[in-house]
Amino acid sequence: MKSRFLKAALAVVSACTLMACTPEKENNAAQGAATPVAQSATEAAQQTKDENMNKLTLTAEWDKVFPKSDKVEHSKVTFKNHFGIELAADMFVPKDTCLKVNGKFPAIAVSGPFGAVKEQSSGLYAQQMAERGFLTIAFDPSFTGESGGEPRYMNSPDINTEDFMASVDFLSTRDNVDPERIGIIGICGWGGMAINAAGIDTRVKATVASTMYDMSRVSANGYFDSANNADARNEARKALMAQRTKDFKNGTYDLVGGVVDPLPDNAPYFVKDYYAYYKTPRGYHNRSLNSNKGWAASAGTSLLNTKLLAYANEIRNPVLIIHGEKAHSRYFGEGAFEKMTGKKANVPAKLDSTKNWSKTVGNKELLVIPGASHVDLYDDVNGRIPYDKMEEFFKANLK
């Protein structure tokens, strides 16, 4: 049986955990109660198609949760992965052409958090890095946002790793990108996907995993590995298979996993943090799974049965893992660091509040931001996203 803590966490439905065990029936009244930012009729009507937008209909107007920069050119592009799914992305190109080397930019692909869309954190990261001289794209993963893929709101460690690889396909064949200088950034659950992609794609010359989750670990083991036993996993399998039968019979897919709303007074602090981002104008988006009704309840099958990071110890190119000191998810980053280096992170129990803490083994680094929570690294409300460090890391390794 699940631990008491895991049951409580599932009850409030963490935005990043993907219903790790027993799926719950969606509460339409509760999940639909908070929609602080509604899609306008103008936005719905304004669609654009060009040579890069073959099948998908993409919103033409700026609909991000962050302001548009005047230092970069923005456009929308699409490309297909090896499963034939067409992905939608925002592309940010520096206006300062002096940042090119031999007429080409270094490039970075960004995705995450798990259950978010490119109009949220990944787009913010991409725009910020474009201001610093990188051509960037922030893409919606398969089955989510403006990207293709049916049925909707599914996920797969294999397909989502391929999404990152497809982004490298796209970037490496652009005339204004140096194919030898491509990196990736994964945020939250896509931090684990990014490291997984770096384990297979040698074209990825540098990887950043920010406030990362290992989604296969939390799906199979529960939070803090509190349900890491065969009996608990078997109960989770039974629940998932019952859900699959129900979905097939009904011809629809129940949804679960959006941030709980209204927020219970006794919700864990990290769920309160998720609410403050996904359910308020700070980060709400009408296409975001976490802001609304969440993932397909039966989507957890693959993550429960397939482990990410299997070959992380064989990644030869540089990897930077960034976490907040107070992030409930920090143990995922520490585990990934140990997997890659064979060395424990050994983060001190108390950090100096005036400077970031880091540990480097070879070309792998774990960076911990004092006082920062998991969600603090979603946006820059508290000025804790280390953009300068990421710029330094990519410029040192994409050369």
For residue 284, is pLDDT > 60?
Answer: yes
User: Is pLDDT above 90 for 93?
Assistant: yes
pLDDT at 100: 87
Exposed / middle / buried, residue 376 (Cβ in 10 Å: 0-12, 13-18, 19+): buried
As a three-state string, the secondary structure of 82-119 is CCCCEEEEEEEEECCHHHCECCEEEEEEEECCCCCCCC
pLDDT band of residue 29 (cuts 50, 70, 90) is very low
Task: Please state the pTM of the whole predicted model.
Answer: 0.88
Q: Which residues are paired to 243 by β-bridges?
A: none
pLDDT of residue 49 exceeding 60: no
Average pLDDT over the chain reads: 89
Sign of the Cα torsion 193, 104, 78, 255 reads: positive
Q: Is the pLDDT of residue 252 over 90?
A: yes
Q: What is the mean pLDDT of residues 14-40?
A: 36
| pLDDT-based confidence at residue 380 (cuts at 50, 70, 90) | confident
pLDDT at 392 over 80: yes
Amino acid 6: pLDDT: 35
Q: How many whole angstroms separate alpha carbon 49 and alpha carbon 293?
A: 28
In residues, how long is the chain?
399
Tokens of 176: 């204004």
Three-point CA angle 26, 29, 35, nearest 5°: 105
**Residues with Cβ within 8 Å of residue 189, at least 6 apart in sequence:** 16, 18, 112, 113, 114, 115, 212, 213, 215
The three-state secondary structure class of 126 is: helix
Asked whether residue 246 carries a pLDDT value surpassing 70, the answer given is: yes
Strands 47-48, 58-59: parallel, antiparallel or unpaired by DSSP? Answer: antiparallel
DSSP readout, 260-292? PSSPPTT--HHHHHHHHHHTSTTT--TT-TTTT
How high is the pLDDT of residue 381? 82
The structure tokens 């005339």 sit at 175
Q: Which two tokens stand for residue 255?
A: 């949804």
**The pLDDT value given to residue 388:** 97
The pLDDT of residue 98 is 87
pLDDT for 237 = 97
Q: Specify the pLDDT at position 20.
A: 38
CA distance 213 to 190: 7
- Predicted confidence band of residue 188 (pLDDT cuts 50, 70, 90): very high
State how far the Cα of 177 lies from the Cα of 107, in Å rounded to an integer: 6
Q: Which two tokens stand for residue 155?
A: 């996920």
Domains of the chain, CATH where assigned: 4-397 (3.40.50.1820)
Checking if the pLDDT of 27 tops 80, the result is no
Average pLDDT over residues 305-314: 97
pLDDT of residue 2: 36
Query: What is the rounded distance in angstroms from the CA atom of residue 395 to the CA atom of residue 391?
Result: 6
Cβ atoms of 276 and 27 within 8 Å: the answer is no
Instruction: Dig out the tokens for 163 from the structure.
Output: 């999404």
Identify residue 343 by its one-letter amino acid code: K
